[in-house]
Chains A and B, each alone.
Chain A
């Protein structure tokens, strides 16, 4: 997926803080995914300096941790824009015009799927099914679900805040 090079990475979080988050999950069976969710929840992405900490805590290689992080679509290596629009690309939504909706929003924002607008305001991502298949097309804007989504209902919630 194309990384937006215009966005600089924020300063890395303190190592001790990451280590504490990691340690709090080590009692779980198979703790790596819960740890990654916790990190992303806390920082909005998986900080580079967390990889070594996780590897050491779990007694696996840094490469293995990187392999897991990069396997799953949800985990980001850099923060998303201030607002995140997810539009369903799957079949049931396509049957109700989902593809045209996605194309219209991409065109309006001037970015590709996974892209972030140059001002860092909006990231747009494809999603494959939100389970709203009988009221498509479906979208999720900043975590809020939208059924029978239109260009207006997707853009409006964030439109005013976009400078």
Chain B
């Protein structure tokens, strides 16, 4: 009998380690010959710890499992969820980037290969950098960190740049509240990222890559560290990638709790050992990036989507999606939801379908008041905007952004003025301090919202004016996008800011 108990941080936070220990203890006491695999999470967080058992007739799931449930699972008397792939939340997905997460042992390169891994890299090794880059461009893949810049065009700029050294940097500084896809991919399928980064290196002529992790993700750090050792021993990275004679090595670096280091230029400064202060652009990091050298800085999900694109071809990937938003997006459904977790789907699903049909509404059972899409810098959406299809341009058109595709649901008890204040407070705490609109503006924003809360509705135009200055005058998205949650809360719920609804419209 084979048991799968996730090593994913969320599963562990809900007791997976104790469950794994209990399975081992009881099996030993009963003299059963079992194997326990610590896999990634299947992404259905309401079922974690989700234990799967393979009795040589396919895997069946149980969840959520507490240590006290283990005896019944071993007996076969526990009620199972059936095959996990048939649970509606899972069955409705198009898992491309997350195809292997939860399925395999994250640290087994053999299982990675048996399940479609390394096909893309082997193909890329037979192609020129120009051909690889063209494939990525034609797939329509856009930056999954939030900005949505076409990945192939960024790669082409770095490929054409002449320099003695170039770098691939993976931005794994997933600081947005409501997002956990980077963490899950790393903890569940780290070789997918490694393969993507090696391919990026081949495409642009870089021999060195860095993965910039967050210190808040100790489990992901552990898995990546272990997987890099496996990859190096197997010759997947190092002096000769899979014996090709082409070199590419990877190093993990850990940040130190600064949200702003998720901004690419601030991340580069941090990697160089400096304060994580934002750099003015130009020069673009693609031309003068890490240590002044041409650098590809891509989000983890962008790089993690490369293996499937190279394995199945650009046309396959581009056949998913909507308009200019090609492919799939691992959407993270979080906050006050009944069925939260990771839902990878082609772009285009309306927001309301995600919130009501997929996530089943709120965990508290109360009506949905608002959802924040795209992290702390993303706009709030009210139910009347739920027909907005999930896509870069579509969300932009609705006055928001998809960011890293985190959806945070709030029920009707949410205090929207309080949330607007929090957005400003967070910006003040995390501002790198380089530009005035962000550094000072955020502090003044908190004060102004406090005045509004104290009944001074006349301060509302001042807040709007301040937001305009921050939006237009800030160097990066931290100061520039903090107005999104603030102004959307104000626009959707003016009565909470002491204004009649009509007056604001």
A interface residue numbers (CB < 8 A to B): 28-34, 36-37, 58, 67-68, 71-75, 88-96, 127-136, 138, 143, 145-148
User: With A and B bound together, what is the CA distance between A154 and B236 in angstroms?
Assistant: 42
Q: Which residue of B lies closest to A149 (CB)?
A: B13
User: With A and B bound together, what is the CA distance between A147 and B46 in angstroms?
Assistant: 11
Query: A residues within 8 A CB of B275?
Result: 67-68, 71
Query: A residues within 8 A CB of B211?
Result: none
B256 & A131 in contact (Cβ 8 Å cutoff): no
11 A-B pairs besides A68-B273, A91-B178 with CB distance below 8 A are A30-B271, A90-B376, A92-B406, A95-B334, A128-B430, A133-B334, A134-B10, A135-B10, A135-B45, A135-B46, A147-B13
Q: Which residue of B lies closest to A67 (CB)?
A: B275
User: With A and B bound together, what is the CA distance between A94 and B406 in angstroms?
Assistant: 15
B335 within 8 A of A: yes
B218 & A143 in contact (Cβ 8 Å cutoff): yes
B175 & A128 in contact (Cβ 8 Å cutoff): yes
B112 within 8 A of A: no
Query: B residues within 8 A CB of A29?
Result: 208, 291
Q: Which residue of A lies closest to B176 (CB)?
A: A129
Q: Which of B368-410 contact A (CB under 8 A)?
A: 372, 376, 406, 408-410
Query: B residues within 8 A CB of A31?
Result: 273
User: With A and B bound together, what is the CA distance between A75 and B257 in angstroms?
Assistant: 9
B9 within 8 A of A: yes
B14 & A147 in contact (Cβ 8 Å cutoff): yes
Query: A residues within 8 A CB of B94?
Result: none
7 residue pairs of the A-B complex, CB under 8 angstroms, read A32-B273, A68-B274, A91-B372, A92-B335, A95-B336, A128-B430, A135-B46
**B175 touches which one: A32, A129, A145 (CB < 8 A)?**
A129
Q: Which residue of A lies closest to B14 (CB)?
A: A147
Q: Which of B256-270 contact A (CB under 8 A)?
A: 256-259, 270
User: With A and B bound together, what is the CA distance between A31 and B336 in angstroms?
Assistant: 41
**B13 touches which one: A28, A93, A128, A132 (CB < 8 A)?**
A132
B256 & A33 in contact (Cβ 8 Å cutoff): yes
User: With A and B bound together, what is the CA distance between A88 and B410 in angstroms?
Assistant: 16
Q: Which of B9-44 contact A (CB under 8 A)?
A: 9-10, 12-14
User: With A and B bound together, what is the CA distance between A148 and B179 in angstroms?
Assistant: 16
B10 & A33 in contact (Cβ 8 Å cutoff): no
User: With A and B bound together, what is the CA distance between A29 and B289 in angstroms?
Assistant: 14
Q: Which of B208-238 contact A (CB under 8 A)?
A: 208, 215-220
User: With A and B bound together, what is the CA distance between A73 and B257 in angstroms?
Assistant: 5
4 residue pairs, one from A and one from B, having the closest CB atoms = A134-B340, A32-B273, A90-B177, A72-B256
Check A91/B376 contact, CB under 8 A, given A33-B256, A128-B426, A130-B216.
yes
B276 within 8 A of A: yes
B189 within 8 A of A: no
Q: In the assembled complex, how far is the CB of residue B105 from the closest CB belonging to chain A, in whole angstroms?
A: 21
**A132 touches which one: B9, B215, B270 (CB < 8 A)?**
B9
Query: B residues within 8 A CB of A68?
Result: 273-275
B256 & A95 in contact (Cβ 8 Å cutoff): no
**B177 touches which one: A30, A34, A133 (CB < 8 A)?**
A133
Q: Range of interface residues on chain B?
A: 35 or more
Check A95/B410 contact, CB under 8 A, given A73-B257, A73-B258.
yes
User: With A and B bound together, what is the CA distance between A147 and B255 in angstroms?
Assistant: 23
Query: A residues within 8 A CB of B444?
Result: none
A74 & B271 in contact (Cβ 8 Å cutoff): no
**A133 touches which one: B220, B259, B270, B332 (CB < 8 A)?**
B332
Q: In the assembled complex, how far is the CB of residue B178 from the closest CB belonging to chain A, in whole angstroms?
A: 5
B272 & A95 in contact (Cβ 8 Å cutoff): no
Q: Which residue of B lies closest to A88 (CB)?
A: B177
B242 within 8 A of A: no
Query: B residues within 8 A CB of A75?
Result: 256
Query: A residues within 8 A CB of B46?
Result: 134-135
Query: A residues within 8 A CB of B215?
Result: 74
Q: Which of A33, A37, A58, A92: most chain B CB closer than 10 A?
A: A92
Q: In the assembled complex, how far is the CB of residue A142 from the closest CB belonging to chain B, in whole angstroms?
A: 12
Q: Which residue of B lies closest to A134 (CB)?
A: B340
**B276-290 vs A, Cβ < 8 Å mask (1 yes, 0 no):** 110000000000000
B341 & A74 in contact (Cβ 8 Å cutoff): no
User: With A and B bound together, what is the CA distance between A33 and B334 in angstroms?
Assistant: 32
**A58 touches which one: B13, B273, B410 (CB < 8 A)?**
B273
User: With A and B bound together, what is the CA distance between A136 and B14 in angstroms?
Assistant: 10
Q: Which of B46, B258, B408: most chain A CB closer than 10 A?
A: B408
Query: A residues within 8 A CB of B272?
Result: 30
Query: B residues within 8 A CB of A132?
Result: 9-10, 13, 180
Q: Which residue of A lies closest to B372 (CB)?
A: A91
Query: A residues within 8 A CB of B10?
Result: 131-132, 134-135, 147
B333 within 8 A of A: yes
**A95 touches which one: B13, B216, B414 (CB < 8 A)?**
B414
A71 & B276 in contact (Cβ 8 Å cutoff): yes
User: With A and B bound together, what is the CA distance between A28 and B272 in angstroms?
Assistant: 10
Q: In the assembled complex, how far is the CB of residue A90 from the closest CB belonging to chain B, in whole angstroms?
A: 3
**B256 touches which one: A37, A89, A128, A147 (CB < 8 A)?**
A37
Query: A residues within 8 A CB of B291?
Result: 29-30
Q: Which residue of A lies closest to B174 (CB)?
A: A131
Q: In the assembled complex, how far is the CB of residue A26 from the closest CB belonging to chain B, in whole angstroms?
A: 11
User: With A and B bound together, what is the CA distance between A138 and B217 in angstroms?
Assistant: 13
Query: A residues within 8 A CB of B409?
Result: 95
User: With A and B bound together, what is the CA distance between A48 and B217 in angstroms?
Assistant: 28
Q: In the assembled complex, how far is the CB of residue A31 from the closest CB belonging to chain B, in whole angstroms?
A: 6
**B335 touches which one: A58, A71, A74, A95 (CB < 8 A)?**
A95
User: With A and B bound together, what is the CA distance between A75 and B273 in angstroms?
Assistant: 14
**B408 touches which one: A88, A91, A128 (CB < 8 A)?**
A91
B153 within 8 A of A: no
